[in-house]
Amino acid sequence: DPKIIQKPKYLVAVTGSEKILICEQYLGHNAMYWYRQSAKKPLEFMFSYSYQKLMDNQTASSRFQPQSSKKNHLDLQITALKPDDSATYFCASSQDRGLGQLYFGEGSKLTVL
């Protein structure tokens, strides 16, 4: 059974719209992350959370907003979508931030038309 569930697996959006990517982890981990993968940047760090608190934000744009409603949830809201946002977004978790192995979900592939 997958331990990190990302939904949806694929999504298509129009420019200017808003989407939410869902991530739930069932590993009992304290840290969660979002990464973005595109042809331009193979694995780009976006955010890290520890115990539901934002620890790192490497995303320049405020259009990307992580949301943690529970310890094992870290959703990603993207507003005013642009074609450049097209990428696969990976959620990951680890026991503690920056330590130990990262476990990745299967990704959500976003296409912005």
Residue 29 is a binding residue for another protein (CB under 8 A): no
| Residues 57 to 86 in contact with another protein, rule: CB under 8 A | none
Task: Indicate the residue among 54 and 80 with the shorter CB distance to another protein.
Answer: 54
Task: Indicate the residue among 14 and 42 with the shorter CB distance to another protein.
Answer: 42
Residue 52 is a binding residue for another protein (CB under 8 A): no
Spatial CB neighbours of 111, under 8 Å, sequence gap ≥ 6: 10, 11, 12, 13, 86
Task: Indicate the residue among 79 and 104 with the shorter CB distance to another protein.
Answer: 104
How many residues touch another protein under the rule CB under 8 A: the total is 23
